[in-house]
């Protein structure tokens, strides 16, 4: 399965400036593993040392927040869009 990983500018800088990555994987975990293998700094920004998605990072598959579903085990179908968005805070 090939998914499109969409990154905002702040994270795209860690992927060589690419805002869209084509990544193979059948689950969110597999997609993020492949992203981390190709872009280690980006991988560390998305997941912690235990492999969990960092608290301040949100991951969506076709618009659905994976935290409210199967988490990293969320299936990723061919052509799915996986968005990775850091939380915004401040005032």
What domains appear along the chain, each with residue ranges and CATH number? 2-86 (3.10.20.30)
51 dihedral zone (left: phi>0; alpha: psi -120 to 50; beta): left
- Whole-structure pTM value: 0.93
Mean pLDDT of 59-74: 97
What are the φ/ψ torsions at residue 44 (nearest 5 degrees)? Answer: -70, -25
**Residue 66 pLDDT > 70, yes or no?**
yes
Check residue 87 and give its pLDDT.
Answer: 87
Is pLDDT of 91 > 70? no
User: Residue 41: what pLDDT?
Assistant: 97
Q: Does position 57 have pLDDT exceeding 70, yes or no?
A: yes
Residues in a beta bridge with 75: 27
The average pLDDT across 58-74 equals 97
């Amino acid at each position: 399965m090939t998914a499109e990983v969409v990154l905002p500018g702040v994270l795209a800088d860690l992927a060589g400036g690419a805002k869209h990555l084509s990544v193979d994987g059948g689950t969110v975990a597999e997609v993020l593993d492949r992203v981390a293998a190709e872009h280690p700094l980006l991988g560390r920004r998305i997941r912690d040392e235990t492999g969990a998605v960092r608290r301040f990072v949100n991951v969506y598959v076709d618009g659905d927040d994976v935290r409210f579903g199967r988490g990293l085990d969320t299936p990723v179908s061919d052509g799915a869009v996986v968005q990775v968005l850091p939380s915004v805070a401040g005032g």
